[in-house]
Structure 1
Amino acid sequence: MEKFIVSARKYRPQNFNTVVGQSHITTTLKNAIRNQQLAHAFLFCGPRGVGKTTCARILAKTINCENISPDGEACNHCHSCVSFNEGTSLNIHELDAASNNSVDDIRALVEQVRFAPQAGKYKVYIVDEVHMLSASAFNAFLKTLEEPPSYAIFILATTEKHKILPTILSRCQIFDFKRITNNDTVEHLQEIADKEDVHAEKAALQVIAQKSEGCMRDSLSILDKIVSFTNGEVTYRNTLEHLNILDHDYYFKLLDTQLNQDMAGAMLLYDEINRKGFEGDLVLNGYAEFIRNVLVSQNPKAASLLDVVEGLQPKYVETAKKVSPAYLVSALNILNEAEINYKMARNKRLHVEMTMIKLTFLQQAIDLSFDNQTSTLVKKKRVNGPVAVKFEPLQSIQINAQAAAPEPAAVPQSKLFIQPPAATVVAEPKPVIEKKPAAKEATALPKIKENVDLLTETAEMPVPPKAKIPAAGKKSLLESLRDKHITNKTSENKKEAIPVTAENLQEHWNCFKDKLKQQAKHSVVTVFNNAQLQVVNEQHFSISVSASLEQKFIEQEKTTLLEYLKECFQNRNIGFTILVNEQIKEVVIAEPTLTTREKYQKVIEQYPMIKELKDRLKLELDY
């Protein structure tokens, strides 16, 4: 029975032309070999399974080939190529840095570099997973890597470039490998399937390429498993079953039920998916990817971003025409939040079902927030937050007056007229004259005063032609008249203040206590009952309490009490002072505590026979 070899090893590329998806690197290396411009150190970095170690081996074989082709490829027939293919070449040394990462391993490698090759031009040292070397091993490798012998070439390979020291990076020629595209993977898998006489559907190979995520080694391993599982028949159905991938038909059905707001249909469909053994997080992740593809399909320019199985593109485009972008974006947000909170949910199935219910009634929420008149989305109104008070703008009044004669003539009542509210009234400008004494201005004020009320009510009136322009930084004439008129009106309406006496103060004090009783402030009422009032003068009195706690109770009611008393006495200047009468407490001096020895001395002084008894019995006291 022939020994089985996995496809990843059996079909490993043997020259640059067979490397898949890395043409930018293979072309550079072939040109460097053909032009004899090889660097002494290379660094191959990139994701796993994209051909880093394979390209390193091909480079090592090609530079030692005795009959290099004009395009820079190895002949595979000379002694060096044959020994390399059989694994017996002494000019190629591979070191796994993951298991040989100490300083001693690097020192052994440096010792080997001292010896020239017995056959061939170069000795090639391939260090795989070089990021696993320790810091001391890197430092021990620096000098040799910077100035190696002319026959030594180092090829370092790593998947984590950021972990390598900058001093190592600066000494190497860096090549960045990229992920292999799905199309390149599918073509390579089809070639291998043809060589192995395996019937493989293109849709199945596309699913394998998507599952491998740009890693050729993973895609070949998956193909080997499915071939063994299906006995040489790789179909779309058995590929989905083997890789535990949910068919897109379920997602299309699920979207249709949610667009029709069929909650029962969506729940039954998810129950069928759950009974097939698919975990909830896989369903949420797959459905989110499906919604993303539908959203991408709505714009023809973004069709290149649609990475799905061949034949499904038209179905995605047709489905995208039936769904609004608002629904798709909102659904993506809900699915993303559900996937994040999936691990924290105790009841996983209920968590997924709640997400499906939200998506089922999502269209109703969008319809409620959509304004049909303006065809725009309406934001939700804030209910609990503060709302700004709206004020109606007041029409401003602007009066431009010029200086006039020393004594302006009075304006008769008959000549006054009232205009309807309109634009600003502006008097005809006249030349400005010098400012007259203030006495003459005061004379003019009473004559204008009789028209102020009418001016205030109607907001407009003819301005006396000979008014004075106010100086900069001072009040205008109209403002001065208003202030004076308001002051006079206030003084006329001002009532005479009632003096504070002991009788009326106690009467109002009791009335205020009754109000406190109605408010059920019993503790404050008790304090007010115990307080003592004393009149200081007609506008001030004092309140005496016995403790600072009672003072705090009165201070809490100070604002309400003052407003009440000001209204009762018709005096805005009334006030009071709270006094605390602290009682002097008698200080009791306690007798000092006696020690045991002092107590014994005091007892024997009073009763000497106790000491005699102690001496006769020869007792020892424990003090």
Structure 2
Amino acid sequence: MDNKFIVSARKYRPQNFNTVVGQSHITTTLKNAIRNNQLAHAFLFCGPRGVGKTTCARILAKTINCTSPTADGEACNTCNSCVSFDAGTSLNIHELDAASNNSVDDIRSLVEQVRFAPQAGKYKVYIVDEVHMLSASAFNAFLKTLEEPPSYAIFILATTEKHKILPTILSRCQIFDFKRITNNDTVTHLQEIVDKEEINAEKAALQVIAQKSEGCMRDSLSILDKIVSFTNGTVTYQNTLEHLNILDEDYYFKLLDCMQQQDMAGAMMLYDQINRKGFEGDLVLNGFAEFIRNLLVSKDAKSAALLEVVEGMQDKYVSTASKTGLSYLVSALNILNEAEINYKMARNKRLHVELTLIKLNFLQQAIDLAMDNGTVVKKKRVDGPVAFKTRAVTPIQYQQAAAKTPEAKLYIDQKPVAAPAAAKPAPPTPTHQAAAAMAPPPVRTAPRQAPASNGVKKSLLDVLREKAGDRYAVEEIKEAEVLSMEKLRACWDSYTELLEKQLKHSSAGTFRAARLEIENEIRFTVTVSALTSQKFVEQEKMMLMDHIHTNFNNRAIVFNVLVEAGEREDIPLHMRLNSKDKFEHIASQYPLVKELKDRLKLEIDY
């Protein structure tokens, strides 16, 4: 135990620009600036966490003070300046953590240090990490020094939240945006480290670590250290999934297979097995949504580059995606996204996930129902006004004449009724001949046929009619009635009797004394004599409106309640006072109540 353990993130921190991973656009710019002696006096390094901002700042500070830099602008790592910098004893670099030193006094002390020239080397470098944590006053105290520093002072500001920095600071700095490190670069770097440490690691395991780190190299190195300790030096795909609490993708393939076969029992048993392993429902929903997204990406060769899965799984995704319909994937992704959003509000988390799986299990049936000859049938949306449709009424004389004609067909309630086949035509009589002469010429109406499907898209209603047949009866919608005083009074009296049966005698008396007046076809006014009567009517307004709408078959009917002007009503005190007035009234009658409130320092919620 003599050798102290150093985590990989510190042990393998890059010492020159060439070893920085995934930020070649920044390291190349900095090396060219050093080589051409075109250094700015202030830099701002911004980007996600763990991508090399502070590392590049330290490498830049070491390189510009190196006494014998290389031809490509790198530090030699052998001179006294580089050695002292690597040992942490250099006096030319000062690091300030703005998260804990964010006051004006901290910035003033930093500004005072800037006045002193370096004792050795050419530049004094000041690295301010997490600079967005500085207060507004500290930023303002830093402005003048940042704009016109001494020739030997260089400031490097690092932050993860550039939008929180004042524009006056941004305009004084040369800004470098660091990007997330790609999974391929992360895997390559991890492979170099495990080779140096002589660790047995599968490439699939390193790919899972890279995906879990989400572009943060420091996180990936920390995860690698944990798994190496957990597995005693052997990193495999299975133990990596176990340690990171990641569900194996084979479970998602099995779930999708059960849903494609509409095997609800198999899907529920598979989820029970996943739940017994300790995986939470939101993790399953999120993982399944990501799995569906990968299948959607695999449907098209153009988007195949977006597929980031472990090595050897690409072919399986592509083959599964070719067997799965595009409409199913999009609908499933929508259902999973909605379920994941509502997961936190669900009381029974397991039931919430199981309901989502049931929806996905029967999703294919819903898609099949909305398909016609392989194309999706959508409901027609009518944005503009719809014209009022009328149907011509056949004259009575023509109906009588047509009834005697064996070839005619009468349409009753829009359904054709054919004449009996066995009936023989009766010989025409003079009366019939006269009626036929008076009637308009007969118009033969062909029976209604289903619309042809050759190249013409059917509406969803027509498709459902073809599949359902005559199993469902279509009822005619009743027309809405306008207000009439006779029917309104009958409806009002019937509701009054209903109040009497419910033993609401006060409300029933108010309804009997109320005066009704119709303003227009859908609005009427109820006039009562007192404010308390108005409250009785308002209490019954919801049930009364439903009663009126049902009788008139018109949901547009509304009414107002008015109080007629008359003698001032003696309203009870508890109905006139609000909460604050009630307390003051009680306190005036009982002073000890107010004294109790003041002594206990109570706050009353009015």
TM-score bin, normalised by smaller chain: 0.5 to 0.7
Hey, what's the Cα distance between the residues in 1 that align with 2:36 and 2:195? 37
Residue in 2 aligned with 1:203?
204
2:548 aligns with none
SS in 1 for 2:101: coil
Give the aligned length.
415
SS in 2 for 1:321: helix
Structure 1 residues 110 and 363, CA, compared in 2 at 3 Å: closer, same or farther? Answer: same
1:6 paired with 2:7, answer yes
Q: TM-score, normalised by structure 2?
A: 0.65
Map of 2:337 onto structure 1: 336
How much has 1:379 moved relative to structure 2? 2.8
For 1:527-559, what per-residue CA distance to the aligned partner results, in whole angstroms no more than 9, with x for missing partners? xxxxxxxxxxxxxxxxxxxxxx99956979999
Following the alignment from structure 1 to structure 2, what is the Cα–Cα distance between the partners of residues 322 and 303? 16
Find the aligned partners of 1:317 and 1:2 in 2 and give their Cα distance: 49
Relative distance call for 1:345 and 1:387 in structure 2 (3 A) is: farther
Unmatched 5+ residue regions in structure 2? 393-439, 442-484, 495-511, 523-606
Residue 33 of structure 2 aligns to which amino acid in structure 1? A
- What one-letter code is carried by the residue in structure 1 that aligns with 2:100? S
Query: Aligned pair in 2 of structure 1 residues 30, 366: CA closer, same or farther (>3 Å)?
Result: same
Q: In structure 1, what is the Cα distance between the partners aligned to 2:280 and 2:165?
A: 39
CA displacement, residues 459-504 of structure 1 (integer Å, 9 cap, x when unaligned): xxxxxxxxxxxxxxxxxxxxxxxxxxxxxxxxxxxxxxxxxxxxxx
AA of the residue aligned to 2:375: T
Matching residue's letter, 2:8: S
Q: Distance in 2 between matches of 1:116 and 1:354?
A: 70
Residue 274 to residue 556, structure 1, CA distance change in 2 (3 Å): same
Q: Percent identity?
A: 82
Give runs of aligned pairs for residues 530-541 of structure 1, distance below 5 A: none
| 1:380, distance to aligned residue in structure 2 (A) | 4.8
Contact kept, 8 Å, 1:516 with 1:522, in 2: the verdict is: no
What is the CA–CA distance in structure 1 between the aligned matches of 2:521 and 2:312, rounded to whole Å? 84
8 Å CA contact retained: 1:185, 1:209 = yes
Could you say which residue in structure 1 is the equivalent of 2:84? 83
Cross-structure match for 1:371: 372
Matched residues in 2 for 1:73 and 1:553: separation? Answer: 95
Aligned to 1:347: 348
Code of the aligned partner of 2:377? V
Give runs of aligned pairs for residues 356-395 of structure 1, distance below 5 A. Answer: 356-372=357-373, 375-380=374-379, 389-391=388-390
Change in 2 beyond 3 A, CA 1:392/1:201? same
Q: Report the counterpart of residue 269 of structure 1 in structure 2.
A: 270
Question: Within 5 Å, which residues of 2 pair with 1:99-498?
Answer: 99-372=100-373, 375-380=374-379, 389-391=388-390
**Aligned-partner residue type, residue 207 of structure 2:** Q
Judged with a 3 Å threshold, the aligned counterparts in structure 2 of structure 1 residues 298 and 516 are, in CA distance, closer, same or farther, namely: closer
- Which of these two proteins has the greater Rg computed from alpha carbons? 1
In the aligned structure 2, how far is the partner of 1:226 from the partner of 1:366?
45
**Cα distance between partner residues in 2 of 1:338 and 1:181:** 30
1:298 CA displacement: 0.7
- Residues 52-110 of structure 1: per-residue CA shift (max 9 Å, x gap): 00000000000000001000000000000000000000010011011111111111101
Return the letter of the residue paired with 1:35: N
- How much has 1:369 moved relative to structure 2? 1.1
Give the equivalent residue in structure 2 for 1:576.
none
* CA pair 113-265 structure 1, distance change in 2 beyond 3 A: same
The CA distance in 1 between the partners of 2:104 and 2:163, in whole Å, is 21
Structure-2 residue corresponding to 1:48: 49
Change (3 A) 1:108 1:369: same
Distance across 1 between alignment mates of 2:258 and 2:119: 74
SS of the residue corresponding to residue 94 of structure 1 reads strand
> What letter matches 1:274 in structure 2?
N
Question: After superposition, where does 1:92-103 map in structure 2 within 5 Å?
Answer: 92-103=93-104
- Aligned to 1:43, the other structure's residue is in SS state strand
C-alpha contact (below 8 Å) 1:45/1:157 kept by paired residues:
yes
Q: CA deviation at 1:156?
A: 0.5
> What's the counterpart of residue 60 of structure 2?
59
Q: Are residues 267 and 381 of structure 1, via their aligned partners in 2, closer, same or farther at CA, if it must alter by over 3 Å?
A: farther
Q: Distance in 2 between matches of 1:311 and 1:520?
A: 75
Q: Say whether 1:28 aligns with 2:42.
A: no
Q: 1:276 to 1:391 in 2, by over 3 A?
A: same
> What's the secondary structure of 1:301's corresponding residue?
coil
In 2, are the aligned partners of 1:13 and 1:54 still within 8 Å (CA)?
Answer: yes
> Where does residue 71 of structure 2 map in the other structure?
70
Letter in 2 for 1:354: L
- Contact 1:280–1:348 (CA under 8 A) maintained in structure 2: yes
- Tell me the distance in 2 between the aligned counterparts of 1:558 and 1:73: 89
Distance 1:8 1:80 in 2: 24
Partner SS for 2:125:
strand
What is the rounded CA distance, in whole Å, between the counterparts of 1:522 and 1:14 in structure 2? 93
| Displacement after TM superposition at 1:306 (Å) | 0.5
SS of 1:300 mapped into structure 2: coil
User: Offset of 1:376 from its aligned partner?
Assistant: 2.2
CA drift at 1:390: 3.2
Q: 1:370 to 1:102 in 2, by over 3 A?
A: same
Distance 1:387 1:350 in 2: 44
Give the Cα separation in 1 of the matches to 2:167 and 2:490: 79
Matched position secondary structure for 1:175:
strand
- Residues of 2 paired with 1:175 and 1:238: CA distance? 39
- Cα distance in 2 for partners of 1:557, 1:170 equals 68
Match of 2:111, SS state, is helix
**Equivalence for 1:493:** none
1:371 to partner: Cα distance: 1.4
Contact 1:98 1:133 in 2 (8 A): yes
For structure 1, the residue ranges without an aligned partner over 5 or more in a row are: 394-456, 459-512, 524-548, 560-623
**Aligned with 1:126: secondary structure?**
strand
SS of residue paired to 1:42? strand
- Equivalent position SS for 1:93: strand
- Kindly provide the CA deviation profile for residues 36-61 of structure 1, in whole angstroms up to 9, marking residues without a partner as x: 00000000000000000000000000
